[in-house]
Structure 1
Amino acid sequence: MSPHRSSGLPGSGAGAHAAAPVVTPERLNSATPGAAEAALLTCCGSLRWARRVAAHRPYPDLDALLAASDEAAYDLSPADLTEALAREPLDPPGPRWGAPRATYTAAHTALRAAQAAYESRFGHTFVICLDDVAPDEALDHLLSGLRSRLGNDPEEERAIAADELRRLARGRLTRLTLRRTGANTADIAADDATEPTRPPSRPDSPYVPV
């Protein structure tokens, strides 16, 4: 199991972190390097990725930011990918996805079994981006994805996991920079001398590493 596994409740357990900051592209552009990296680490757990995206500021718009994110994600080394996968938080599907509790409980049991088999085979957490999947289809999509990818060879699966992380980073960056309703206006302040070694929770995302 992943060393960052929590009790299974969003925001609880050993894997919980402070809420992700809400930023705009303009605030990301003007933030100190350390603050920008800390915000970016909520979208992808590779420090090299975060530093590279932060170093290429300013970004004129979200499209430019997403293009830089993709480029940095495509260049992740095996060590960078391992780091990013190890930092993926647990956020299991539940009632907030519209799943009945009985369905959730049964699916969670199946997910745990499939995840254990996956981690035993590949040595890292399963990740999948479900941004384009309807909430009522997410559980089935997640389980089918886990089961189908168990048949991959390790090299092929790491390539798929890397692409899923790239897609997750795009979605998280979009939500991080475009959220307006109920936004917490707290600064993305971080001491520039402080190394951002553990990212806060990710911006809300309908995906699950289990």
Structure 2
Amino acid sequence: MRGIKGILFDKDGTLVDFQATWFAIGEMMALKAADGDQERAKALMESAGYDFAAHCFKADSVFAAGTNADIVELWYPAASTAERAAMVRHFDEVTAEEGAAKAVALPGSKDALASLHSAGFRLGVATNDSTGGAEKTLLSLGVAQMFDAAYGYDAVANPKPAPDAIHAFSDLTGLKPSEIAMVGDNRHDLEMAKAGGALAIAVLSGTGTRESLTPMADVVLDSIADLPAYLAREA
């Protein structure tokens, strides 16, 4: 843990309450894909990872871990390449606007970010949402000024779990990957950290569980509210 100077955060489930923010948006998108058919829309939601019995998104599902391109591929299997590209652009626009407008910050996240920023940590976001969606959400939450960069799936050649965003953040800040911590609530966040040579910090505030995250994590915390105190203890 010694020597950590920069922190990359996943967005949904780490900074933002995933369930509170995304169910209504996902349902709206699924209903559109199903041409208004409620039962088909429900089936699409389930296929992408929503558990209606438990009222939550499943860990590491397409919804929890994938990109809009992954969702379009799943929901529109018969679409042509051009049609999918157009639909991805549409999904990016909708999720950027709606995700920012409906973003619910996780308890303690803003105070934690302020503490880390004041302590001199370089902060960034690495998400499989679009870059525009990430930037709009940070502005909506009132924390954008604390971040050096936001990397969406469309800002790098290869999205999570590839380590491209770690390399980009390293290049931007001049920090070594070993001086960077990646914080997230799904396995792909931790896989990205391992692939990029960064510290893998799991949080239990999103869709991941202790059982799913512990095998890949260097550290498991309840949420990023615990991060400033943990880093201070380990400094």
TM-score range, shorter chain: under 0.3
Q: Which has the higher strand share?
A: 2
Name the TM-score, length of structure 2 as normaliser: 0.26
Structure number with the bigger relative contact order (C-alpha 8 A, sep ≥ 6) is 1
